[in-house]
Chain A
Amino acid sequence: MKQNNLLADLLLTFMKIGLFTFGGGYVMIGFIEDICVNKKKWISHEEMADILVIAESTPGPMAINCATYVGFVQAGFVGSLMTTLGIVLPSFVIIYLISMVLDGFLEITLIAHAFQGIKIAVGVLIFDAALGMIKKMPKKPLMKGIMVCAFIAMMVINIFALRFSTIALMIIAAIVSLSVFIAKGAPDMKGDGKGAMKGGAAQ
């Protein structure tokens, strides 16, 4: 019975987090920390810090990493299912409903005009997110070089509508970085990893 209460609490708490955080990313992390560390005491500050490092260095939404971890330490695999489901469910339901009405919605002239403006805002937002990431990126020559090459390659791919996947670009970048590292004799770089981990946080 107590176990069921905890599972329900995990599910409902993360549904609340999923429902009330707009814009994802760090907004959500702040909310998770406030509830799971300060209020519910489900995980410690240190665990939260560790999980953020892992979340930033692994792909996928950071909020999912956090939710999965909290659920797992509190109630094992079932717990992690509850928290992950909880954080996904509100977005899922809302977007699913929107997806059913969006097309009809866009046929209204006023809305269509509004979305013309919004389309431009999205370009500006992505551009601004990239600038934010560049600011946080460690200023190492190789990293800067990879960034510039990736930028040029992606511009060429976009402009000429080439069929070259972005994932292939990332794998090439990984190989280049790893090769250079090995060519240098794979030196131990203390504290360097931390810089790389902080590298690519968005927003």
Chain B
Amino acid sequence: MIYWDLFVGFLQVGCFAFGGAYGAIPLIRDVVLSNGWLTDETLAYMIAVAESTPGPIMINLATYVGSSQAGIVGSILATLAVVLPSFIVIIVLTAALKTAMKNKYVQAVIRGMKPCIIGIVLATGVYMIGNNVLTSTVGTMLNVRALILTVLLLAITYGAKPILKKKPSPIILIVIAALLGVVVYGV
């Protein structure tokens, strides 16, 4: 049943998403692809929308996936599920948690999970970039427009820092990418 699947799927995301919003993206991707809820393409659009709208990205994605699959009830269930673990952790464990987090065995588990999710996030980013550059409408081949865009965006991300003293914010990068997309795909 879709409501149950949404709830359990996003509950898992809420339970295992260490490392902030980007830590959650591979998990959400896993859930939506394996259930056939979204394509990689739609998910990428939604990540951009989630970045450009207020609020935590995880919640934005849960709301969207829930709504696209099962309307308002679906979006409420998915959002509730992704929030629930954090909520419960704080309510039940506020007192006990500080001691628990200092426990050396708990620390050993965290030391395993943190680098794991970092590797997963890195692989997701590399795969998404590679997938964009190597896929076109006619199957697996070099997509020249995507390659140009990728190189430009990487140059902006890492080239702006020495000049402007800081990296462009995600929203600015998304706006630039949208404009470049209109230019590069429009011609």
Contacts and interface: CB of A to CB of B under 8 A. Distances in A.
Interface of A: 18-25, 28, 50-51, 53-55, 57-65, 68-69, 72, 77, 80, 84, 87-88, 90-92, 94-96, 98-100, 102, 106, 110, 112-131, 133-134, 137, 140, 142-144, 146-155, 157-159, 163, 165-167, 169-170, 172-178, 180-182, 186, 188-189, 192-193, 196-197, 199-203
Nearest to B84: A60
B170 A147 contact: no
Contacts of B114: 137, 143, 196, 199-200
30 contacts: A23-B57, A50-B98, A55-B86, A59-B86, A60-B14, A61-B56, A84-B87, A92-B59, A92-B63, A92-B79, A95-B50, A99-B63, A114-B179, A116-B184, A117-B180, A117-B184, A121-B176, A122-B47, A123-B44, A125-B174, A134-B118, A147-B122, A154-B124, A155-B126, A159-B127, A175-B112, A181-B108, A186-B108, A196-B107, A200-B115
Given A84-B87, A125-B51, A151 B123 contact: yes
A59 B17 contact: yes
Contact of A127 (B23, B68, B126, B178): B126
A125 B173 CA distance: 8
Contacts of A64: 56, 59, 83, 86-87
Contacts of B179: 114, 117
B18 A200 contact: yes
A45 B136 CA distance: 52
B125 A127 contact: yes
B145 to A, nearest CB: 8
Interface string B45-84: 1011111111111111001100110001001100100110
Interface of B: 12, 14-27, 30, 34, 41, 44-45, 47-60, 63-64, 67-68, 72, 75-76, 79, 82-83, 85-87, 89-91, 94, 97-98, 101-102, 104-105, 107-129, 131-132, 145-146, 149-150, 153-154, 157, 167, 169-171, 173-174, 176-182, 184-186
Q: How would you classify the secondary structure of chain A's contact residues: helix, strand, loop or mixed? A: helix
With a 10 A CB-CB cut-off, give which of A77, A84, A130 has the most chain B CB atoms.
A130
A116 B169 CA distance: 19
Contacts of A196: 107, 110-111, 114
Contacts of B128: 122-123, 126-127
B83 A84 contact: yes
Nearest to A60: B86
User: Nearest 10 CB-CB pairs, A to B?
Assistant: A117-B181, A177-B112, A91-B55, A150-B119, A202-B20, A60-B86, A127-B125, A154-B123, A173-B116, A121-B177
A155 B122 CA distance: 9
B141 to A, nearest CB: 16
B136 to A, nearest CB: 11
Given A95-B59, A167-B30, 5 more contacts: A58-B89, A118-B174, A118-B177, A122-B174, A150-B119
B171 A22 contact: yes
B48 A119 contact: yes
Contacts of B27: 166-167
Contacts of B184: 113, 116-117
B22 A114 contact: no
B137 to A, nearest CB: 11
A100 B21 CA distance: 23
A81 to B, nearest CB: 9
A56 B90 CA distance: 12
